Amino acid sequence: PAQEILRRAVSALHEAITRDVASMPFSEATDTRHTQDFTLMHDLAIAIRQDKGLWLAYQPKVCLHSGKPIGLEALIRWQHPQRGELSPAQFLPFAVQTELLSELTTWVTEHAIARLSRLRNSYIQLPITINVSSSDFSRDGFADELEEQMIRAKLPVSLLGIECLETERILESATAMRGLEMLKLRGFGISLDDFGTGYSNISYLRRIPLDVIKLDRSLISEISSDTASRVIARSIIAMLKDLDYMVLAEGVENAETVTALTEFGCDQAQGFFYSRPLPEAALDEWLGWRLRSKC
């Protein structure tokens, strides 16, 4: 039928565009994948708009010197009705390709702020950071929107932190840079994620208004056993401290790494050594134990 021929042609065209080639033959396997992707994107839109299946896990950030929790990172999860629990890597790319990303960011923000309110009601004041992409920073009124949400919740804006994703795209967009600067001016803390994974990271420090630098796990994973890794990590941390940044190490998995990071002057850590990302009930239990202990 003509409709089926057209559908197959569109499927092949989509694959050609994705691969950046002039043409692409139709493939049943590729067509099946496109259908599954479209279904997943449709399901994600429903999950966001009906608030069904999405939830936030929270990974604690810990002071290296005291061992006490000093903040939380909100991480999106999706319990799909047919596919089970999906990690962000399995569905975020579809949000990025569409307008669903702004809706998803709004969903995350609303639920993170609600969590901040519940923490306050339990007399716990810990900032929560959310991950924000270049397209979010480019949205008209994004900073105003976040500030208004915090005001409505009667919370100081300093309790909601912003982690920059797609840093290179932010730098390439004057609109995104203005959005980021507006958030900084309003008092939101700004973190740079995955520092050390690209050659141009150093230039970010001069151009983006930052408070916290998060060292990528690749920088610190071998500092307890490899001399070169120790020298590199120590030098980077010393440089960042000289520039008056707060330094957080991601992916900390053992006590030896904690000892080395503390020796190097790193401020904060995050990783499985302290806690995996936790659902709300487990987080409450973890916080209760950690805040009561002397660590």
Mean pLDDT of 136-150: 95
pLDDT on residue 7: 46
Comparing 24 with 265, which gets the higher pLDDT? Answer: 265
- Please tell me the class of the 53-292 domain: alpha beta
Q: Reply yes or no on whether the pLDDT at 166 is more than 80.
A: no
Comparing 172 with 129, which gets the higher pLDDT? Answer: 129
Q: Lowest-pLDDT range, 89-93, 105-109, 136-140, 260-264? A: 89-93
Q: Lowest-pLDDT range, 139-143, 167-171, 273-277? A: 167-171
Q: Reply yes or no on whether the pLDDT at 216 is more than 50.
A: yes
Cα four-point dihedral sign 108, 113, 116, 117: negative
Backbone dihedral angles phi then psi of residue 254, each to the nearest 5 degrees: -150, 165
Q: CA separation (Å) from 184 to 108, 150, 158, 161, 216?
A: 19, 15, 10, 10, 23
Which of the four pLDDT bands, split at 50, 70 and 90, describes residue 278? very high
Highest mean pLDDT out of 2-16, 24-38, 129-143:
129-143
pLDDT mean across residues, the chain: 87
- Could you state, in order of their start, the residue ranges of all structural domains in the chain? 1-52, 53-292
Comparing 109 with 123, which gets the higher pLDDT? Answer: 109
Q: Reply yes or no on whether the pLDDT at 56 is more than 60.
A: yes
Alpha carbon 36 to chain centroid distance? 25
pLDDT on residue 259: 96
